[in-house]
A and B are shown apart, each in its own frame.
Chain A
Amino acid sequence: MNYIPVTELEKEEMLKEIGINSIDELFRDIPEELRFKGELKLPKGLSEYETRKALIKMAAKNTDMNQLANYMGAGAYNHYVPTLVDHLLSRSEFYTAYTPYQPEISQGTLQSIYEFQTIVCELFGMDVSNASVYDGATAVAEAMVMACDKKKTEIILSKGLHKEYSETVETYANGMGFTVKYAELEDGITPVEAFEAQATDATAAYVVMYPNFFGCIEDIQKIADAAHARKALLIVSVSDLSAMGILEAPGNLGADIVCGDGMPFAGPLSFSGPSIGLIATTDKLIRKLPGRIVGITEDLEGKRAFVLTMQAREQHIRREKASSNICSNQALYALANNITLSTLGKYGLKEMAENTLTNAHYCRDKLLEIDGIEMLYDQPFYSEFALKLPIPARVLQKHLLKHEILGPVDMGIFDEELSNIGLFFVSEIRSKDDMDRLALAVEVIINEQRFI
């Protein structure tokens, strides 16, 4: 099939107007030896019905989370997303538009981004947010670029930062001439001394995850004070965004740049993507903030209007002088975050976070009753906790699937030494029954495995 609304007769009319006999003549600028001969080796096209069937068949080879009780997080957190979100996102005036270059006919996207920027500032306790970047990992990489300059070329990442985030930061740093160092964890959190042991005069920023990759809640105030004493910035990467309903906003604890990932509030996890990276900062650093930013102005009759602004920072103006090449944002997912957080509102987010906290602690306590299971770290946590298991996490995970349970994340995939560590994520959508069932299944599996 195709989506071409031109008949043979119309094609003839067009060719005649151009003054040629065949479409092929239009390609005469392409040297003959570069013309592709034959047909691309792709499956034959299908009708719409057949295509849909083929895709349904392929999707059926996956086990989707709806069939399971999910306890996996580690950067992809499944919280409640209101039904209305997808309905509103599906309005094609939103999703079939492009970057709002023509503000007079793009006020929907622009106002949505302005509201999104406001929400991000509110969540993080910051002055200013951009219109979003690709995801939580690239948000930290962009924050590094903001923090570093010719003199300050080093950045120190807590070992409690998501490993894939650290890897992304390294990819960006390599080539820009920045050095990435690491501050080791001690009992699950990053002591100030671990940063200080690595810091030099060239240190641009400390980076810490909140709560961190093991679920532990870091004392970012202490780390902020230590960073500032060194004339370095504190970059905070918020892991599970819903934590902002209960944890103090990083901006109120001294953070200079706050990053996050809006996936939990965008819709289903979709195998991780698209996601949306949040990045907010202080008024002081506003000119360093990369990417699109929407501001308020007026039209020539004095009516309030929204427009892309501060574009002098961007690559289409500065070309090779731009510090970031990002020229888009995740506008549709910014809209989704705006809709979800407007729907939850001030008290919904708080309730979601408090329920999550309660559930996660209940679940942890139930699992700790099982013989052979211990906490990896005894630290305050929010929605995630790491447990030492008597069997490999991979094995537990495999057997839990038979009980229609997904999780925990096998920390062995990040570090072989952690193959007995399972990272459990629990949110407000898990019921007491779900968690009791999890504990029972874990106990049965561990007992079975011990006899093997």
Chain B
Amino acid sequence: MSKDLFNQTEALIFDKSRPGHKAYFLPEMNIEKLDKNKVIPSHLIRKTEADLPEVSEIDVVRHFTHLSNKNFGVDTGFYPLGSCTMKYNPKLNENTARLPGFSWLHPYQPVETIQGALQLMYLTQLSLAEITGMDKVTLQPAAGAHGELAGIKIIKAYHDSKGDTKRTKIIVPDSAHGTNPATATMAGFQVIEIKSSSEGDIDLDALKAVVGDDTAGFMLTNPSTLGLFERNIKAIAEIIHGAGGLLYYDGANTNAIMGITRPGDMGFDVCHVNLHKTFATPHGGGGPGSGPVGVKEFLAKFLPIPTVEYVAYKDKYILNYDKPESIGRMKSFYGNFSVIVRAYTYIRALGADGLKMSSEYAVLNANYLKKLVGKHLAVEAPERFCMHEFICTPKNIHETGVHTLDIAKRMIDYGYHPPTIYFPLIVEEAMMIEPTETEGIETLKEFADVVAAIVNECRTDAEIVKTAPHTTYLRRLDEVKAAREPNLRYRRTVKA
């Protein structure tokens, strides 16, 4: 392919519009066309068409193919974006999700005609309950943050059901994902942030100081956002439960622990998992994902409606809307079904040992890479084994004046997607690296060699790092301009 194709700006689809071109053919009508003016009040009839492009089919195909060429995905190359678990998305799952028996279903079809779909959902619920050590699972939430909201609402419903309305506070560590405090606020709670130790552990004294009879719950990611297992989890659970609060598990990091330890056994009462992380469903450029929520039995009555259940004596799967204490509905219908089909396919293919092995190799890969990268950059908690991800920083080359952002951009020049940067907030200049289990040793070695090369550049020719990327068709962007002079949509300029 010519170099130019990758190095030129792709015109907007609207700029490719030429009057009279079309790419669609609708079924021919053999009924006389109805005069809309006879059936719709005139002021409710559209006066001017939406200004959509007029293009031919080949134009559409080439336009979006060109756009795809300007994207980097897991299939393009190594994507060690910490906390996001950018593992390989198996192609089999794409096919099963597209089976007509799953994809061509209407949500209100009679229940007799959707038994396979409900069975798949039910089995996914059972599998996720087993993996997380929870009792009941809902698949309704559309994303991790949506699952958090459902979970925190369940905690609220539990306290409310006991008439315990003074519990107005949710405790969140300062290392938490940004969605945690935002979720707690959305659910009507006051957020109490507590500091973590330098290793990301919860400071038990700080925790004891803030818990009380106003504590509704505590949100925790374990392994933490520093990629370390919270060793005090038992003590934390005792402190929270002792005060009458509940524990919420942010399952963003579940990829480290499948078959190894379970949130339910650690003392958590509610958890969400991200099917688009741990269970290999594609991230889709930012969504759709899926954020199922698991709870212990005593909270099952608060799950969102409808729940998918199996009625054994009838050997029939049903949607149960009759749950008077439910938190209600999180969205329309039942969840991101085709994402759930992909995740179920993954679970079915891997089985118990495949899932456990995935977590083991995710952790092996992370520790191996931590070791290699640690030879060139400063790593956090060097003496501890990390779980599925680790944090490094350019502290050791502070004198070069090179920042994390620069290193990240320079990685692009070498053909890698950069890690998550500047998160968690408690580590200055953090780079959060999560290799996942679907990468081989050669990829990890090559990446570490690139880190070494970049660190060397920082010392010898820092400017090349500070001005990266150089090989992409775009250089660094002016993000301030985008915010100051918002241009958020195209408007056709009418020729005079």
Does B207 sit within 8 A of A, measured CB to CB?
no
Closest to B349 in A: A51
Does A286 sit within 8 A of B, measured CB to CB?
yes
Does B487 sit within 8 A of A, measured CB to CB?
yes
B181 contacts A292, C-beta separation under 8 Å: no
List 12 A-B residue pairs with CB atoms under 8 Å apart, sorted by A's residue number.
Answer: A4-B437, A52-B92, A59-B99, A82-B24, A93-B71, A97-B284, A119-B50, A129-B489, A134-B143, A168-B330, A274-B142, A309-B486
B361 contacts A345, C-beta separation under 8 Å: no
Residues in B with CB closer than 8 Å to A410 are 108
3 nearest CB pairs, A to B: A45-B351, A59-B101, A61-B116
Residues in A with CB closer than 8 Å to B441 are 6, 10, 13-14
Residues in A with CB closer than 8 Å to B36 are 246, 354, 357
Closest to B88 in A: A3
**Beyond A174-B188, A309-B488, A320-B193, 8 extra complex contacts between A and B, CB < 8 Å:** A30-B261, A76-B106, A96-B89, A101-B81, A171-B330, A296-B487, A307-B477, A361-B39
Does B310 sit within 8 A of A, measured CB to CB?
no
Does B52 sit within 8 A of A, measured CB to CB?
yes
Q: Smallest CB–CB gap between A394 and chain B, Å?
A: 8
Does A387 sit within 8 A of B, measured CB to CB?
no
A109 contacts B186, C-beta separation under 8 Å: no
Residues in A with CB closer than 8 Å to B475 are 104, 299-301, 303
Q: Smallest CB–CB gap between A36 and chain B, Å?
A: 5
- Type the 1/0 row for A221-260, where 1 means its CB is closer than 8 Å to any CB of B: 1000000000000000000000011111100110000000
Query: Would A105 and B72 be within 8 Å (CB), given that A35-B261, A219-B44, A325-B183 are in contact?
Result: yes
Query: Would A309 and B482 be within 8 Å (CB), given that A123-B50, A176-B188 are in contact?
Result: yes
Number of interface residues of B (CB under 8 A): 200
Does B270 sit within 8 A of A, measured CB to CB?
no
Does B166 sit within 8 A of A, measured CB to CB?
no
Find A297's partner among B30, B74, B469, B478 (CB 8 Å cutoff). B478
Task: Report the contact-size class of chain A (Cβ under 8 Å from the partner).
Answer: 35 or more
CA distance A325 to B141 in the complex (A): 13
Does B182 sit within 8 A of A, measured CB to CB?
yes
Find B474's partner among A15, A299, A325, A343 (CB 8 Å cutoff). A299
Find A111's partner among B70, B76, B99 (CB 8 Å cutoff). B70
Residues in A with CB closer than 8 Å to B96 are 51-52, 55-56, 59
Closest to B74 in A: A96
- Type the 1/0 row for B339-382, where 1 means its CB is closer than 8 Å to any CB of A: 10100110111111111111011011101100110000000000
B73 contacts A137, C-beta separation under 8 Å: no
Does B440 sit within 8 A of A, measured CB to CB?
yes
A98 contacts B482, C-beta separation under 8 Å: no
CA distance A254 to B29 in the complex (A): 34
Residues in A with CB closer than 8 Å to B351 are 42-46
A331 contacts B68, C-beta separation under 8 Å: no
A246 contacts B45, C-beta separation under 8 Å: yes
Does B309 sit within 8 A of A, measured CB to CB?
no
Q: Smallest CB–CB gap between A49 and chain B, Å?
A: 9
A248 contacts B109, C-beta separation under 8 Å: no
Query: Would A10 and B440 be within 8 Å (CB), given that A45-B351, A72-B108, A118-B489 are in contact?
Result: yes
Does B135 sit within 8 A of A, measured CB to CB?
no
CA distance A48 to B95 in the complex (A): 11
Residues in B with CB closer than 8 Å to A329 are 286-287
Query: Would A108 and B67 be within 8 Å (CB), given that A321-B185, A335-B285 are in contact?
Result: yes
Closest to A137 in B: B332
One of B225-233, B392-400, B452-460 contacting the partner: B225-233
Residues in A with CB closer than 8 Å to B409 are 102, 104
Find A268's partner among B17, B51, B104, B117 (CB 8 Å cutoff). B104
Does B86 sit within 8 A of A, measured CB to CB?
yes
B26 contacts A322, C-beta separation under 8 Å: no
Does B206 sit within 8 A of A, measured CB to CB?
no
A2 contacts B31, C-beta separation under 8 Å: no
CA distance A174 to B153 in the complex (A): 9
Query: Would A273 and B333 be within 8 Å (CB), given that A319-B178, A398-B110 are in contact?
Result: yes
A29 contacts B345, C-beta separation under 8 Å: no
Does B481 sit within 8 A of A, measured CB to CB?
yes
Residues in B with CB closer than 8 Å to A333 are 284, 287-288
Q: Smallest CB–CB gap between A342 and chain B, Å?
A: 5
Chain B CB count within 10 A is highest, among A96, A312, A339, for: A96
A66 contacts B490, C-beta separation under 8 Å: no
Find B72's partner among A10, A72, A106, A137 (CB 8 Å cutoff). A106
Does A294 sit within 8 A of B, measured CB to CB?
yes
Query: Would A93 and B76 be within 8 Å (CB), given that A320-B185, A330-B284 are in contact?
Result: yes
B69 contacts A93, C-beta separation under 8 Å: yes
CA distance A6 to B143 in the complex (A): 31
CA distance A115 to B344 in the complex (A): 33
Q: Smallest CB–CB gap between B353 and chain A, Å?
A: 6
Residues in A with CB closer than 8 Å to B438 are 3-5
A99 contacts B358, C-beta separation under 8 Å: no
Chain B CB count within 10 A is highest, among A98, A249, A355, for: A98
CA distance A31 to B22 in the complex (A): 64
Query: Would A62 and B102 be within 8 Å (CB), given that A117-B488, A342-B13, A431-B30 are in contact?
Result: yes
B55 contacts A30, C-beta separation under 8 Å: no
Query: Would A95 and B73 be within 8 Å (CB), given that A6-B440, A105-B417, A346-B49 are in contact?
Result: yes
CA distance A177 to B185 in the complex (A): 11
Closest to A138 in B: B331
Does B173 sit within 8 A of A, measured CB to CB?
no
Does A327 sit within 8 A of B, measured CB to CB?
yes
Query: Would A94 and B71 be within 8 Å (CB), given that A2-B358, A271-B105 are in contact?
Result: yes
CA distance A45 to B337 in the complex (A): 22
A1 contacts B349, C-beta separation under 8 Å: yes
Does A26 sit within 8 A of B, measured CB to CB?
yes
Does A446 sit within 8 A of B, measured CB to CB?
no
Closest to A309 in B: B482
Closest to A86 in B: B98
Residues in A with CB closer than 8 Å to B238 are none
Does B262 sit within 8 A of A, measured CB to CB?
yes
B46 contacts A319, C-beta separation under 8 Å: no
Does A151 sit within 8 A of B, measured CB to CB?
no
Residues in B with CB closer than 8 Å to A319 are 178, 181-182, 191
A residues 1-50 in Cβ contact with B at 8 Å: 1-6, 10-11, 13-15, 17-18, 23, 25-31, 33-36, 39-48
B24 contacts A4, C-beta separation under 8 Å: no
B178 contacts A346, C-beta separation under 8 Å: no
Q: Smallest CB–CB gap between B394 and chain A, Å?
A: 18
CA distance A94 to B101 in the complex (A): 25
A272 contacts B337, C-beta separation under 8 Å: yes
Does B220 sit within 8 A of A, measured CB to CB?
no
Does A64 sit within 8 A of B, measured CB to CB?
yes
